[in-house]
């Protein structure tokens, strides 16, 4: 339920940002307000996670899986970039010849 509420709030913000031309894109007040809302959201989510005993008890296991997942994603990304770069450089070399 809370995810739907956050999604609705985000959608309203996106629509207002896209349609309201009176608010400047680069505004100091807007930037500060975004920081306040971001840190409030992070605080509330952290409080919810911290108050759940099951989440706190499994924190080390989640950290381990997080590290494994991030290593796998970075390895896959680097491999894909290397593969595509090799193919594109080969194609450029063939076009020059």
Q: In Å, how far are 22, 52, 83 from 96, measured between CA atoms? A: 51, 62, 20
59-70 in b/e form (b: 16+ CB < 10 A) is eeeeeeeeeeee
Query: In the prediction, which pLDDT does 73 show?
Result: 97
- Verify that 88 and 76 share a domain, yes or no: yes
Nearest alpha-carbon partner for 67 in 79, 78, 77, 75: 75
Q: What is the pLDDT of residues 32-57, one digit of tens each?
A: 888 998 899 889 888 888 888 888 88
| The Cα angle at residue 76 between residues 74 and 81, in degrees rounded to 5 | 95
97 and 84, same structural domain? yes
Q: Number of folded domains in the chain?
A: 2
Q: Is residue 36 domain-resident?
A: yes
Which pLDDT score, from 0 to 100, does residue 71 have? 97
**Domain residue limits at 67:** 58-97
Give me the pLDDT at residue 75, please: 97
């Amino acid at each position: 339920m809370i995810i739907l509420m956050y999604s609705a709030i985000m959608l309203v913000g996106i629509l207002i940002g896209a349609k309201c031309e009176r608010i400047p894109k680069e505004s100091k007040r807007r930037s500060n307000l975004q920081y306040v809302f971001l840190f409030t959201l992070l605080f509330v989510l952290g409080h919810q996670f911290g108050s759940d005993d099951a989440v706190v008890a499994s924190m080390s296991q989640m950290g381990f899986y997080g590290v494994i997942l991030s290593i796998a994603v970075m390895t896959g990304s680097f491999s894909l970039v290397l593969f595509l770069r090799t193919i594109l450089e080969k194609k450029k070399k063939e076009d020059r010849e």
